[in-house]
Amino acid sequence: MEDEIIKPWVEKYMDWRDVTVETVGIDIVHQRVIYRRPGYEFDCVCPRRDWPKKFRKVEQ
């Protein structure tokens, strides 16, 4: 989308199925988190309001 503004944000999180994902950034216009799943070639998105309900930060 042309009207996206992506703020970089790189962290590791665990989803509700215990799969580790890596965040790419936050689309501050559409209020969504962009992240990558292992073995999946496309970026995924999740609304920011749902992110803390579905993901937990992986402590390094």
Beta-carbon-side half-sphere exposure of residue 28 (alpha carbons within 13 Å): 5
What mean pLDDT is predicted for residues 18-32?
Answer: 97
Q: How confident is the model at residue 41 (pLDDT cuts 50, 70, 90)?
A: very high
- Answer whether residue 56 shows pLDDT above 60: yes
Contact 22, 14 (CB under 8 A): no
- Answer whether residue 1 shows pLDDT above 70: no
Query: Structure pTM?
Result: 0.89
What is the sign of the dihedral through the CA atoms of 28, 6, 4 and 32? negative
Contact 47, 55 (CB under 8 A): no
Question: What whole-number distance in Å separates Cα of residue 47 and Cα of residue 5?
Answer: 15
Q: What pLDDT shows up at residue 11? A: 97
Residue appearing with tokens 């995924």: 44
